[in-house]
Structure 1
Amino acid sequence: MDTRHLEAFLGAVDAGSVTRAASMLRVTQPTVTNRIKALERSLGLPLLERLPGGVRPTRAGRSILEQAREILRLSGHVRRIADASLTPQGRICVGASESLINHRLLPLIEYLLVRYPDMDVSLRLSTPQEALVMLHNGEMDCVFMIGSEASDEDLEYCDLCPEPFALVAGGRPGPGRPGPEEAVSSILVSADLDVRHCGGLLDEVESTLRPGRTLRLDSVTAVKRMAESGIGVGLLPEVAVAEDIADGRLRRVVDWRPATATYTQALWRRGDAGHPALDAVLKAASDVVSAD
């Protein structure tokens, strides 16, 4: 089975369009179409349903998605191991949350681009939950997130630097606008937080401050604006709110400090060690992010 056929099929599924898949794979649309048809002939099954606005996998197509991704991942791994030079090169996709991209990873990406010009580093903004799903299915090679542990037996991880969280509220309460203590009792806003990998941090906050309800937002900016407006308090990485606290836009809620230790972590699939590009990213992260 030609892996290029699988790549064309998965590209069309992920993009929802043969045209967009061709652009993503940097080949012509007829090339993608012919490769998909060749795969369908070899399997004797229709894999894509053609729609007016694009394509979607048939039942048969959906049934082979996971295996097709694994075949591509393993074939790429074999090719990289067979490269005798072991020079970091090729495409590697890295996922991270908003606060880490803005405050931790930009020096890392700059370092990689300068040191490894043959590497095509793609940095994708995503929530921790989305990033872990894409890491598992092979759409990402490495994920940076904040956590205290990684209990998934299919993944390996390393702690890069401490990354504590802070509870913040509007820095300048005005008439009719709740102060920090009242805001805590009304709502808790959280972002950049995957409770599965942050121990009991969220439970710790909720049991200590007992908010009326918990609202989860994906956007750090939205969390800060809501906290600044007095709508509630924000649970955010300290690094994401340090400037806002210094400028007086936000302030810490009472004297709360988390008991759960959290860190910026790098996570990758178990068994992917030996991938030159991945090893280069992890080594650079250890040197650059840990020293930040």
Structure 2
Amino acid sequence: MELRHLATFQKVAAVMSFTRAAAELSYAQSSVTGQIKALESSLQTQLFDRLGGKIQLTDAGVRLLPYAEQILALAEEARADVAGLREPAGTLVIGTMESITSYRMPPLLELFHHRYPRVQLSLRPSLCAETCQALRHGVYDLGFLMEQTTGHQGLETVVLAQERLVLVASPSYPLATEQRVTTEALRQAQVLATEAGCAYRELFEAELSTGDGNPVGFLEFGTIEAIKRGAAAGLGVCLLPEMTVADAVRAGELVILPWEVPFTVYTQLAWRQGKRLSRELRLFVDEAMRTMAEEKRQMVSA
């Protein structure tokens, strides 16, 4: 096995396209095809199934991928150490979501920009289920999750924080004057929500379900900012992480309604099980944990 063949295999497995892999590696497509065939020949097994215009990893390809990643990461670490390149460098592909990108990532991005300028963070927005799948397939190096469960098949996770969810509405919304808001009252209200697939939206939807088979009528918005604007305009109520509405609540644009959220979600950082974390990946995990701990201390002292 040659390192360049493993690197090409890793890229094809990540993007699931010989054409796209060739473009990203600046190779001719015939070179990519030839390297994969050479690798398959050396291993005496097929690594990809070619089905029409699409490809997918064979069982052998799935088994090879984590080894390829570890070999390539170790080779890069050896190269950097021998060459005396002590400064962290490279590209980290990170699956994330709007709430994390907009409200949690800025301090991390600023830190890496100033302290580790040779580390490039490539953020890929996706829902939690999509992030988990991309991590298992090696498309993402790390991924942020916000879910009720903290154990995910094929992944290793670290819990960064328990995420407080709050129900908010405009100060002029009828429920805003209630001493206590019941779940039954919420069933009669217009609910503004994120797109389907968001973990806390699905938990909220299940809580409001009456069990008669009729779906809960949510008014979906494309972004959290759009949801907040809709709520501030009096269109309805919405359930969001507290960090995303804190500024609007302080400004008096939204108020927190007295409804006790009956479920809990956790912000987590995940990577594929068995994946060897490079120095740069471990650095990101450590800095993410430190940043979240600092945020929690500031909230307690506020």
Check conservation: 1:10, 1:65, Cα contact below 8 A: no
Does 2:79 correspond to 1:57?
Answer: no
What amino acid is the match of 2:168? V
SS in 2 for 1:236: strand
Does 2:256 correspond to 1:252?
Answer: yes
Check conservation: 1:96, 1:144, Cα contact below 8 A: yes
Deviation digits for residues 24-54 of structure 1 (CA, Å, limit 9, x no counterpart): 2244545334324545666586957597xxx
Query: Which 10-residue stretch deviates more, 136-145 or 151-160?
Result: 151-160
Q: 5+ residue gaps in structure 2? A: 296-302
Percent identity reads: 28
Aligned to 1:78: 74
Deviation at 1:262, TM superposition (A): 4.1
Deviation at 1:98, TM superposition (A): 0.4
What amino acid is the match of 2:216? R
Q: Distance in 1 between matches of 2:157 and 2:239?
A: 24
Q: Distance in 2 between matches of 1:204 and 1:44?
A: 46
What amino acid is the match of 1:252? I
Does 2:267 correspond to 1:264?
Answer: yes
SS in 1 for 2:199: coil
Among 66, 69, 82, the alignment partner of 2:65 is 69
SS in 2 for 1:290: helix
Does 2:204 correspond to 1:206?
Answer: no
Deviation at 1:221, TM superposition (A): 3.5
Aligned to 2:156: 156
Q: Distance in 2 between matches of 1:113 and 1:152?
A: 31
Does 2:273 correspond to 1:275?
Answer: no
What amino acid is the match of 1:185? Q
Q: Distance in 2 between matches of 1:188 and 1:30?
A: 53
Does 2:21 correspond to 1:21?
Answer: yes
Q: Distance in 2 between matches of 1:74 and 1:127?
A: 27
Deviation digits for residues 93-120 of structure 1 (CA, Å, limit 9, x no counterpart): 2221101110111210221232223323
Deviation at 1:269, TM superposition (A): 3.3
Distance 1:44 1:268, change over 3 A: closer
SS in 1 for 2:34: helix
Matches within 5 A, 1:115-130: 115-130=115-130
What amino acid is the match of 1:109? L
Deviation at 1:149, TM superposition (A): 4.7
Q: 5+ residue gaps in structure 1? A: none
Check conservation: 1:165, 1:237, Cα contact below 8 A: yes
Q: Distance in 2 between matches of 1:48 and 1:270?
A: 24
The number of residues matched between the two structures is: 278
Q: Distance in 2 between matches of 1:17 and 1:183?
A: 46
What amino acid is the match of 1:206? L
SS in 2 for 1:139: coil
Aligned to 2:299: none
Distance 1:150 1:37, change over 3 A: same
What amino acid is the match of 1:151? G
Deviation at 1:128, TM superposition (A): 1.6
Aligned to 1:289: 292
Deviation at 1:232, TM superposition (A): 4.2
Distance 1:139 1:16, change over 3 A: closer
Q: Distance in 1 between matches of 2:139 and 2:45?
A: 27
SS in 2 for 1:289: helix
TM-score (norm 1): 0.72
Query: Which 10-residue stretch deviates more, 27-36 or 130-139?
Result: 27-36
Q: Distance in 2 between matches of 1:41 and 1:57?
A: 18
Check conservation: 1:171, 1:245, Cα contact below 8 A: no
Does 2:246 correspond to 1:242?
Answer: yes
TM-score (norm 2): 0.70
